[in-house]
Structure 1
Amino acid sequence: MVSIFKLEEIFKGKSSSFLEKEERRLIELYSLNLIHTPNEQSFDRITELASRIFQAPISLISLLTEDKQWFKSCVGLTRELLSERSTNRDESICQHVLLDGDPLVIEDTHLDERFKHNPLVIQHHIRFYAGAPIITKNHHIIGTLCIIDVKPRTFTQDELQTLVDLSKWVNTEIELRADLLERTMNEQSIRTLYEVTSNNCLTFHEKLKRLLKIGCERFRLADGNISKITGDVYEIIQTLSMSSNFRKTSDVFPLHQTCVGKVIERLEPVHIKQSALEIESTMINEYVGAPIFVNNAFYGTFCFFSTDQTFRTITNSDLEFLQLMTQWVGYEIERLLVHTELSESQERFQQIANNIKDAFWIFDVEENRLLYMSSAWEEITGRTCEQFIEDKTLWDNIMLPEDRDETMEQFQNVGKNKEFDYRLTHTDGTIRWVRNRIVPVYNKDGDLFRVVGVAADITDAKINQDLIRKSDKLAAVSQLAASIAHEIRNPLTSVKGFIQLKHNESCSFKELILSELGQIEDFINEILILANSHLGIQLNHHNVIDIMSEVLHANKEVSQLFHITFEYDPRANVEIICDENQLKLVFQNILSNAIESMSNGGTIHIGIGMENEEYIYIHVKDQGVGIAQERIAKLGEPYYSNKEKGSGLGLMISYKIIENHKGKIFFTSEVEKGTTVKIILPIEHLA
């Protein structure tokens, strides 16, 4: 790497625009890792072919750094040029190709005033030169493919075009090499990221520290921060500084003294060069940062920066990896907050249960009868104490059959204090979880004569545990989805790009291949909704009736195939603010499930209307096989499907989309009669 100060020293008197262009060119050249590397057969084949085609004694692939012309591949060089594999840039003929941007042909250097006194021409007897620029995908000229002869010669336009075509071959080899290096680096980074995040021996802050170190090493930036932003206040929650110690964890800055403005403005990863922002007398010259989202709301930033002026390049792949790390941080903060809230909720619940709503009971063992039940039992079961006393079988009847044997054994074999959970059926039809703590009471002879119990309704706590379980599953699936999509996208893009390059060649399966690759890309975009649900959402005013009509039209043929008709009853012609494509995906998933459940045909009823003037509802009612009640609660969980070969991905994505639109999905169903899906969406803008 070279300092900007050195660049200004080398090119004294050059304009600022020239220096900026040269800086960008050098950044990409060094990022390709081609300078001072061993010979590579893929490049040597090109120079050897060029030498044979043009009958030229010398053929070179040259790369131009700030002060040298370095030969990546060379045929025909002798003496010190071969051993050094480089010359000074200001003596090279290739630098004129770099400056002009066009191929250069010199049929006789002795007749060209620019080159007849050139040291290379004089010392190595160069009389003929032809060079074509090597242009990267970012339109930077990093060097040339050239042929050299020790005698003058003419060069036709067809020969020049052949040389240009060979230079494009060099471009392709460089891109393939860069893709391989980038893919290897991504694999190593993701492996390291997984090892850190899955290490249960590390605390959350220890993991953050290691993630900062991973980022500093990958981006070659000396400092890193993970921040929480509240209003105009920037608080560091973890930091790593390899260059200085002017900041530490828990430090607080006014927001305007940081580089996060662009991150907040775009809500996506950003790369800022020469920001020239001063923090505590320290000048920040390069900054890379990404937003952290917690519960789909902006929380803070994950960023790296440097105070030096060293050249470095930050690729799109680097920014995607930063986003991957940032997503994990957001999910982990979200999980910790949920666990904290759950712990506080459980503590409050225990206080209430132990002091106010505990249900007490006393059972006489000798007389085998219930002596007392507190009124709290009526809230738990919907039945009075008198009903339990009058009907001794009532207790057995309201207990769930799968819990009955084990629970009754607990009651009958009371030798010491014990605690256990079981389920009861309330009179309203709901299932209630009950935690019973029982204490044996002995008479003066040491015989058990009574059992005292204290029971609490722990249904809410069980539901909270299920919510935590679903949240953890979704976080794990989202991170895995981002990792898999990130890994697939790079090779997929390369494959698709090179197939499209064959536009002038015959390929009988080309359209089919491109079509299949397009389907893979669509699938990747769908699973990325799980990892990047807060990004890429396009909110605009849309009419829900129009969106549903388009989905129904798209399903017309498949419904006819299954002898299914649609009964569409739209009653609320209003617009809401939403992402049209994401709502289409939800409606398509629900309609597909309805159609697949109706193997014998029938009618699907679709209705749209107002709900309490602030919401709009969409309901889809089918006449399919239905869903058992115990399975409805699991719908939308990762990898859970009501279909024999389903993955559950469609409903999981649908739940996430509706959640991001501040809406809700409800399922009601009866086996062999059908299922109704009801979606509630707010009419006002999403806050």
Structure 2
Amino acid sequence: MADNIPQLRDRGRVDDPARLRALRATGLLDAGSVTSLDRLTRLATRLVKAPVALVSLVEADRQVFVSAVGLDEPWASRGQTPLSHSFCQYVVTDQAPLVITDAEADGRLCGNLAIPDLNVIAYAGFPLRSPDGHVLGSFCAIDGRPRQWTDDEVEILEDLAANAESEIALHVAHGELLVSSERMRTVLETAQDAFVSMDHDGRVTTWNEAAQRLFGWPAAEAAGRPATELMIPERLHDTHRAGLDKVRRSGLSRLAGSRVELTAVHRDGHEFPVEMTMQLCHERGLPVFHAFLHDITDRRRLTEQREQLLEQEQIQVRRLRELDRMKDDLVAVVSHELRNPIGVIRGYAELISADPGLSEPLRQDLVVIERTSDRLAALVDDLLDLARLDAGHRLLNPGPLEPGPLIHDVVQTHRTVAAAQRVSLTCEIGPLPVIPGEARRLHQVLDNLLSNAVKYTLPGGAVTVTASHEGDRIVLTIADTGIGIPAEQYPRLFDRFFRASTATALGIKGTGLGLAVTKAIVEAHGGTITAGPGPDSGTRFTVTLPTSSD
């Protein structure tokens, strides 16, 4: 029997995915009979005196009757037929009205099973389009005998089809509104922030679960009550009501669209800070309010703690600066006050040592006095250098300098001490260019580094001095095989008064100022100084100095 069913000229229009999506979007396929459409189909049967009128939506494999008047059983109860029993599919295919006087005499329709099973002989169907233009089905009138449809009947059915199309569009719009409303409700109910809506009288119209958690009032109890009573501390009620009155009079709110911090109250009476973002809208000419709120107790507590910590830190910084200033003042005063007594001690020691009749024990005591005076004088010089540096004074009076002879001279000065301590002292100096620098200060740098290397190297160890020209700099290294420095202490090595734990553990004397002064002099020359482990244990210092003053 299926072979007798005429083939559609354009099956693709029935199966078009976009049309089928638009059809499903109506929500009518499984809605059953639609009352507003039933009124139109009943009206059609009365106006054109046809026994049957249908609103038929065409799917890919069936037609569904969302309204049917006069249809025989079992089709009326089923509410649908396969497309083998459908004239409406041709309205979809042709995208145009289909008006048939006698289907049995029509070459395209004569084999359709709607003729014998549904008694469809005369048919007048008109397209029902979706809002975006897809033909979803037809509005049709059916007669079980041949009839000539008059122009008035065709016009009436066409007008009724237009009304049915409008009803379908309204149904679609209503469905979309319901989906949108449900989506919004879900968003608001699952939002982390409290959402509260108020009408123009300030009464709650929306109160989500987060609002219930935040304020302690269930939505059923909050609805319809003044928000003032639910959220605002009693002492602020008058202010809140006055604000609402002002908005009602002016239609404007200074709070709308901005984030504000307010004091709220829980149902149990405790107050807490909230941040609110509020929007003012107008519905039917009256203001309504929508607000998101969240608790900022933790944030405010952290802010207060941060401010307290900052205040404490500022107090501490001021104290440290004051202590630093006092220390610098003390260093400067002590340095100046010590210089004269030391000079006097050294002067008297020189006078006494010039006496030819001085006994040998006394002469040895004078040597100790002179050596100690020299150490004190060096300490005072270091302290004065650091005080000048802190005061912003220049440490240098640079001029052209040949570094090679200067390095040789310092090394020769320390050979006697190194030999006495059985420490090997070697020097390897390559060709070096003239550099800008102050000889006295660079001599001080080399003397500090070399004296430390010899002092902290045990008998049998070695100290190596190398110098080379690399690019626009000369590189000087002093490496020893001495007691070394713990790795974690290298970053503090150039701090004032710092001494490595390896030196203090062995009782080796020192002030901890030499390397601080050395670093200041090197940097004043535009150079760098670094320290690290030596290749064979011990420590290696590396000094770089620029070859020009640019």
| Band of TM-score, shorter chain | 0.3 to 0.5
TM-score (norm 1): 0.29
TM-score (norm 2): 0.35
Flag the structure with larger Rg: 2
The structure where helix makes up a greater share of residues is: 2
